[in-house]
């Protein structure tokens, strides 16, 4: 086993996912403790250009047509051989539908320990991970063998995992990919949205705490007063209260507004993953232990039904 820290880079349609930069930032501190290097592992096809701004010491690039888009089967086959051969000190995956899928299966097949929902690493190598929807932080020491870790956003900024200097890229031959159970045939683009929330500078985002569809008008009135747009977390979209184009989260859109006002949103990892690029996050939630407060710069436990209408009126009066 060597002391290097591997980071499995997630990308989609020619864009590196923010969680990859978060992991690179985490890996840098962990590598200082282990004494190894930060190694980004990039799987793709004609995708070596994605390595340009990765903050790492080296990129291991494996190219194959069947790696152009993610499929669990193909990623498993490639990473099974690579991790088994290189035996790094740790391998970081995103705690996403991609990372959790691959990491859990590789943990079983390689008989390696796995840490789920990792958030930060201390200078002595100890990890902190969030459990129970982010309401509990658990700490521990890394096992002595190679360990797989799925990382959640929030502990590091994506900008910390970016660099203006191009890292060294080492191309490795991909293994023979035969008899894959799943092969991607077509990528279907979603319908054109009424509003592209990823480009909006001010978002008022509502969650389960809004309670009913009729109450969304409270957020819409505030958005109108501020000149912003209403977006939502998964529970609101699943109810059909807002169109899917307004969904913020790993199954929706990642957003980077100047101000992100989370109204009645608990802050589950799936949602937090998509808002870490926001300049300022403000949270309104009556639960003082809500995970959203771990990320918010400002927050209040006031009841949204008491606060938001008053805030809206104050803004109108100020105008």
| Domain locations along the chain | 5-173, 197-318
- DSSP, collapsed to helix, strand or coil, labels residue 101 as helix
Model confidence pLDDT, tens digit, residues 75-93: 999 999 999 999 999 999 9
197-318 topology per CATH: Rossmann fold (3.40.50)
C-alpha 102 chain-centroid distance:
16
> Mean of the pLDDT values across residues 130-136?
75
Q: Among residues of the chain, what percentage have pLDDT more than 90?
A: 72
Model confidence pLDDT, tens digit, residues 274-284: 898 899 999 99
Closest CA to 291 of 310, 313, 314, 268: 268
Q: What pLDDT score was predicted for residue 191?
A: 63
pLDDT confidence band for 99 (50 / 70 / 90): very high
> Mean of the pLDDT values across residues 276-295?
93
As a whole number of angstroms, the longest Cα–Cα distance in the chain is 67
Same fold, 5-173 and 197-318: yes
Q: Are 261 and 209 in contact (CB under 8 A)?
A: no
Q: What pLDDT score was predicted for residue 253?
A: 87
pLDDT at 19 over 70: yes
Q: What's the predicted TM-score (pTM) here?
A: 0.74
Model confidence pLDDT, tens digit, residues 181-223: 888 888 776 665 568 898 999 999 999 999 999 999 999 999 9
| Whole-number Å distance between alpha carbons of 289 and 305 | 19
Q: Which CATH class is domain 5-173?
A: alpha beta
Q: What are the C-alpha distances in Å from 216 to residues 19, 223, 242, 245, 306?
A: 30, 11, 9, 16, 14
Q: What pLDDT score was predicted for residue 133?
A: 67
Q: What pLDDT score was predicted for residue 189?
A: 66
């Amino acid at each position: 086993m060597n002391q290097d820290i591997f980071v499995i880079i997630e990308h989609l349609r020619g864009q590196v996912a923010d969680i990859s930069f978060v992991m690179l930032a985490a890996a840098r501190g962990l590598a200082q403790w282990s004494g190894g290097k930060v190694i980004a592992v990039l799987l793709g096809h004609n995708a070596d250009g994605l390595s340009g701004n990765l903050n790492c010491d080296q990129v291991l690039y494996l190219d194959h047509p069947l790696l152009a888009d993610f499929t669990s089967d193909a990623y498993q086959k490639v990473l099974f051989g690579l991790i088994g051969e290189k035996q790094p000190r740790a391998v970081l995956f995103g705690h996403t539908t991609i990372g959790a899928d691959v990491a859990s299966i590789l943990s079983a097949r390689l008989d390696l320990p796995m840490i789920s929902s990792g958030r930060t690493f201390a200078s002595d190598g100890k990890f902190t991970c969030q459990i129970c929807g982010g309401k509990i932080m658990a700490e521990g020491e890394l096992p002595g063998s190679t360990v797989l870790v799925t990382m959640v956003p929030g502990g590091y900024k994506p900008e910390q995992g970016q660099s203006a200097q191009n890292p060294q890229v080492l191309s490795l031959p991909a293994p023979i990919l035969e008899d894959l159970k799943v092969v991607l045939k077509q990528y279907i683009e979603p319908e054109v949205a009424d509003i592209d929330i990823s480009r909006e500078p001010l978002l008022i985002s509502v969650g389960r705490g809004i309670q009913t569809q009729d109450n969304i008008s409270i957020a819409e009135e505030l958005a109108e007063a501020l000149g912003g747009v209403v977006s939502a977390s998964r529970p609101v979209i699943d109810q059909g209260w807002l169109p899917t184009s307004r969904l913020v989260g790993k199954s929706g859109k990642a957003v980077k507004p100047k101000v992100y006002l989370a109204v009645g949103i608990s802050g589950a990892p799936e949602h937090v993953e998509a808002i870490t690029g926001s300049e300022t996050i403000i949270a309104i939630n009556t639960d003082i232990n809500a995970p959203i407060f771990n990320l918010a710069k400002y927050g209040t436990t006031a009841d949204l039904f008491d606060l938001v209408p008053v805030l809206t009126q104050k803004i109108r009066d100020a105008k």
